[in-house]
Amino acid sequence: MSNPRADRESDRTDEIAAEQTYVTMLYGKLDELRRYTTKRLTETLRQTGGTPQARTERDISTTMYTDKLTQLSAVEHGLCFGRLDLDGGERFHIGRLGLFDEDNEYEPLLIDWRAPAARPFYLATAAARDGVLRRRHLRTRWREVVDFEDEVLDLDAAEQGSDLGLAGEATLLAALDARRTGQMGDIVATIQAEQDRIIRAGMNGVLVVQGGPGTGKTAVALHRAAYLLYTFREQLTKRGVLVVGPNSTFLSYIGQVLPSLGETGVLLSTVGGLFPGVTATAEDSARAAEIKGRLAMVDVLTAAVRDRQQAPKDYFEIIFDREPLRIDRRAVTQARTRARRSRKPHNLARRVFRQEMLSALTLRVADRLGRDLLDRRDLDEINVELRADAGVNDALDQLWPELTPQELLDDLLSSPERLRTASRKHLDDDERAELLREPGADWTPADVALLDELAELLGEDDTKEREERARQAREELAYAQGVLHIMEQDEEIADEERLRVSDVLDAELLAERHQTRSDLTAAERAADDRTWTFGHVIVDEAQELSEMAWRVLMRRCPSRSMTLVGDIAQTGALGGAGSWHDVLSRYVADRWKLAELTVNYRTPAEIMAVAADVLDAMDTSLEAPVSVRTSGHQPWLRRVSEADLAAELPGVVAEELRAVGDGRLAVLLPPERLRELGEQVAEAVPDAVIGTRPDGLESPAVLLTVEQAKGLEFDSVIVVDPGGILGESAHGLNDLYVALTRATQRLGVVHTDGLPEVLGTLAE
C-alpha cells in the first residue's frame, strides 16, 4: 500500500538531488572561469617593458582580470538561490551573477538577479503571475543544496503565503531568525516586492526611501547600488557610485555586502571622509556639531575669507631698489575691489589683486624716475623687477595671502578675535565659545563640511597644472584608441571578455585611467579628488545630516542622481532633518520622489509593541512598520538602584550573554555613561568590548551609544538608563526609539530612578 508521506519525502529527496546536480554544474563553470581568468592575469603580469601603448594595454588588462577574479570569488556563497518555472515550460535559475554556456550559443545557465528576466522572481504573485508557474527558493550551505521552498502561483492553491504578501516566507523567516555575525549580510535571495520596486527604480533624480526600523532600508540601498552598476554600467563605471554612511563602525558593518553582490567599484565613506588628506578623528560636542552644521556658517566662512583680504589703515611702505616706496589705502582698496568683482575664488582672485597692485607700484616707481622719460618697454621692465622682488612679494602676500582651507579654518577656530569678526551677525558669545579650540587641534567630522566649503571659497590656482594635464590627455587618448583597436583584433581574448570591455570601456575612459593610475577604479580615484563628481550618490541615515553636510554631497553630485535612505522618526542629531521637504527644497524644490517601506523584517512584534509607544509620543505622523514575525521572547525590565548600577550591570550582561547563546549582544547607554559603565562591564565580562574598537561588532557583546548603534542590528539588546537617553538629547524620544529597535530576538531594559512614561508597556 502506498504511503503518501513517504512518497512526498522521496519526491523531495529526488528534487534536492536534481538541484544539487545543477548547482554542482554551476560551480564547475565558476571554477572554470576562475582558472581561465587567473591564467590570463598571470600572463598579463609577466609582460614587462614595451611601448607606452603596450604598457597601457597591460595595465587595463590587469585591472579587468583582477576585477573579474574579485567578482568570481565574492559570489562563492549562495551562487544560485532560486528558480523560475514559466508557463511555456522554460526554467531559469537565478543567482548572484550571470553564467553562460559558450558552447551552446551563450545559452544562459544562471540569470543575474539584476537582469530584467529575474524580476518576476521578486514581483510575481498569484494575482499577477507574469508568466510564472512556480517560484523555487533554494537553501544552500557552501556548495550543497540542503532544502528548497516552492511557491505555486496558482489562484486555486490552498496556501498563498501570509497576509503581508511575503515571497519565499519560510526562506525569509529562516534568514531573519539566523544569528547575527557582526557584519551585515545581503538579502539578494529574499528581496520582497516593495523592496524590489525601490531597488530597480530609475537612476535619474532624487529618490527618498522613508522606512521605519527593520524595514531593510540599508540593504535596499546597497542592493540598489549593485543594480544601478549593472544596469547603467557605462555611465557609472566612468563616474562611480558613492555610498555615504553615518560613521566608520557602520561602514565596517556593511563592508561585505556589495562584494558579495559582485560589485567592488563603490566608494564607501562618511561625510567626514570626503576631504582628501584630512582624517576627522576628534569629536565635537553635540552643540558644537549643530552650530558648525548651520547654513549660516557659509556666511561666517565667507566673512572669514574676506577678512584676510586686507587694506592698510593709511598706507604701506616697502623698500624697492634701496628706496622706500609708499602705497596709500585708496590704491589697495581699488585693487581689492577689482579682484572681488572678478567673482573668482580667493586664491584665483589673488592673481587679479597682484596684477592691479603691481601696476600701481609700477606707476609709483615710474613717477619717482620721471614717467615722461619712460616708454612702455621701460614700464614693463620695472614691472618685471617688482614681480621678482622678495620684499614686494612679502608685502602683497600679507595683503592678500594664498590660503589653504586647513590654514584658514584652524586660524578662525583658534582665534577669538577672528571668529568674533567673521560671525558677529550670526553667532552669540556662547556659541563662539563652543567653537573655539586650540591651534592645530585634530579635525572633527563637522569640520570637514567647513573645509569643503572653504575649498570652494578659496579655490586653487592650478593653471599650469591644467595646461600640462590637457597636453597629456591628448597623448593618452591617442594611445587608448590604439589599445582598443588591438584588443578588438586579439583572437586570444574570449568573446565574453571582448563584450565586457566594449560594454564598460571606451577610449576616453582608458585614457583617463592611464593618465592617473590605470589600476584604480573610478571610486578609488574619486577618494583622492575633492572635486570628483559621482554618477550616483546613496546616503544612508540621511536624516542625520546637517545643512552644511548636504552642501558637500550636492557638490559631489551636480546631476542630483541620488538615493536618500532614512527615517525622520530616528533623527538624533541636533541639526538633523525635521522633514524631507526641509532637506531637499533648497536643491531640487519639489522635484523628488518618495518611496516608503512599511514592513518590519527585523524587529519582532513583541519588541515593536514597546517601541510603537515611543513613536506615538513623538510629534510625527509616521506609523510604526508592521512586524512580520514574533520571537517568542517578551522584553524584560529590571530596576537597579543608581548606587548599585555599576556593580550589578556586568552580571546582567553576563546573564543575557548566556541567554543569547552564540548570537550578538549590544548594550546601549547614554553617551555620558559609556566610559564609566562600559569599562566596568568590559573588565568583568571577557566577551564584552567597548564599541570604538575596530573588532567591536564581531565580539559577542559590545557597548555602544545610541548614535554608534544606528543602522546596526543585534540578536539581543540591553538598553541601560532610558531616562538618561531621553534627557541627554533634544531628540531623546528619537534616540530611545532607535535603541529599542536594534534587536532581532531579545530586548531588555535596565533603569534606575523611575521608568519613563513612554515605556509603560514594559511595566505591565
Annotated binding site for ATP: 211-218
Three-class secondary structure of residue 631 per DSSP: coil
CB 215 within 8 A of CB 597: yes
Q: How many CA within 13 A on the CB side of residue 529?
A: 18
- Contact residues for 183 (Cβ-Cβ < 8 A; gap 6+): 252, 253, 254, 255, 256, 697, 698
Environment class of 114 (CB within 10 Å of its CB; exposed 0-12, middle 13-18, buried 19+): buried
Q: Residues annotated in the binding site, as ranges?
A: 211-218
Q: What are the cell numbers at 581?
A: 521637504
E strand or H helix that includes residue 564: strand 562-566
CB 538 within 8 A of CB 221: yes
Question: 463-489 and 495-504 helices cross at what angle (nearest 10)?
Answer: 150
CA atoms of 446 and 443, how far apart (whole Å): 8
CB 500 within 8 A of CB 97: no
Q: In Å, what is the CA distance from 580 to each residue of 289, 305, 598, 658?
A: 20, 32, 17, 42
Cα atoms found within 13 Å of the Cα of residue 319, Cβ hemisphere only: 2
Nearest to 515 by CA among 571, 466, 575: 466
Q: Which residues pair with 316 in a beta bridge?
A: 327
Closest CA to 19 of 102, 99, 81, 104: 81
Residue in 244, 184, 247 with CA at minimum distance from that of residue 602:
184
User: What is the longest distance spanned by two Cα atoms in the chain?
Assistant: 127
Burial of 21 (0-12, 13-18, 19+ CB in 10 A): exposed
Q: What is the DSSP string of 350-392?
A: HHHHHHHHHHHHHHHHHHHH-GGG--HHHHHHHHHHHHH-HHH
- Residue 345 contacts residue 458 (beta carbons within 8 Å): yes
Q: What is the DSSP letter of 428?
A: -
Quickly tell me which residue has 535612505 as its cell.
Answer: 565
Q: Residue 131 forms beta bridges with which residues?
A: none
State the residue for C-alpha cell 574619486: 526
